[in-house]
Structure 1
């Protein structure tokens, strides 16, 4: 009877060990079924290299409004030495110009007009016109045959402006250019088969002119 005590103690120890094993199997020490971290564990650090969210574009990144070319208009005026006339027609960023002394020197020039009103026009035989539109006038220079003329051309109001006629009369090829100025005066050259001479007076109301008894029609010039 005295030996039963140790047996009870051993049996109690085995039962306690079985109970602890059963408890560990039930609760577990890993992560829960919802993917959370097990108690006492350290959460993983964020993955390196993850891009940061970008902010909305600033106002300065938006595109600036596009510039517009100078408005469509015609200009006419004289050279500073009053020996010749210059007329220009501007349309949609393009320009065509005519320089004429009314006797034997003339040149047709064309080119682009920049948004700031500057222009560099070119013509045959190296002719050049450099101009700057400021307000209602164009100030610039014309270079022809190694000569340079300074000019000022003011905004023209019809019938002032630039006119041209190209046709054939009595077997002769005609090419005429006229600059009608604000005071009603005209400067022009009419070529017959390439030979220049002072142009007869143009009627700006009808755009007609008489050449060798025939009526020739001149039209406003635009680029």
Structure 2
């Protein structure tokens, strides 16, 4: 009888060695190379479109007046435009006042004054809407057209300056500023445009956008 046990065992060892060799060769070669996938693409960045401006060019000459509620009082604001120049005046009829000036181009206002005062506005064909800054406070406003005798007026007597805003309903608000910077309510402005400033009868001059201060 032929003994086959050792031969079978030897054959099994040879087969196992061949399998292990094939596995090692496969690992060293790095295995099959995967097919390249589709190239990654990035989505285009979203685009934003600015809202179209509603600004309309100012008339050649005009004045606009607004009343701005402020705590227990009211700020009155007048804006005089002439060509591409503008002047604005804000006061509370007692102690607070500010003059500003700057550009009035393409229906937009960019005005500046002392102590950081600033006014930005836009004309829609009828009304000037914008924001007024005085110091660290700001207010929005809507200023309507003011037809004479409504408007902005000024008179100087020596180093004293009196300023008035007349609204469309005839209300008058103004401040008197002395040479030392002190402020007080402006004297009464009569319907004919005259006032008594420090004992002197004066006729107040209307302010236009091209005036300088």
| Alignment TM-score, normalising by the size of structure 2 | 0.66
* Deviation (angstroms), 1:85: 0.5
User: Are the counterparts in 2 of residues 84 and 187 from structure 1 also a CA contact under 8 Å?
Assistant: no
| Alignment TM-score, normalising by the size of structure 1 | 0.63
User: Are the counterparts in 2 of residues 80 and 151 from structure 1 also a CA contact under 8 Å?
Assistant: no
**Counterpart in 2 of 1:201?**
188
Picking from 90, 109, 123, the partner of 1:99 is: 90
1:73 aligns with 2:59: no
CA distance in 2, matches of 1:213, 1:96: 28
What is the alpha-carbon root mean square deviation over aligned residues?
1.6
**Counterpart in 2 of 1:110?**
101
* Cα offsets for 1:154-208 (capped at 9, x unmatched): 111100000011222xxxx211110000111111101122210011111242x21
Q: Which is greater in Rg?
A: 1
Once the two structures are superposed, the pairs formed by residues 81-96 of structure 1 within 5 Å of their partners are 81=70, 83-96=74-87
How many residue pairs end up in the alignment?
Answer: 150
* Cα offsets for 1:24-81 (capped at 9, x unmatched): xxxxxxxxxxxxxxxxxxxxxxxxxxxxxxxxxxxxxxxxxxxx95212111121144
Q: Structure 2 unaligned segments of length 5 or more: list them.
A: 1-55
Q: Structure 1 unaligned segments of length 5 or more: list them.
A: 1-67
**Counterpart in 2 of 1:181?**
167
User: Are the counterparts in 2 of residues 133 and 139 from structure 1 also a CA contact under 8 Å?
Assistant: yes
**Counterpart in 2 of 1:150?**
140
User: Are the counterparts in 2 of residues 118 and 131 from structure 1 also a CA contact under 8 Å?
Assistant: yes
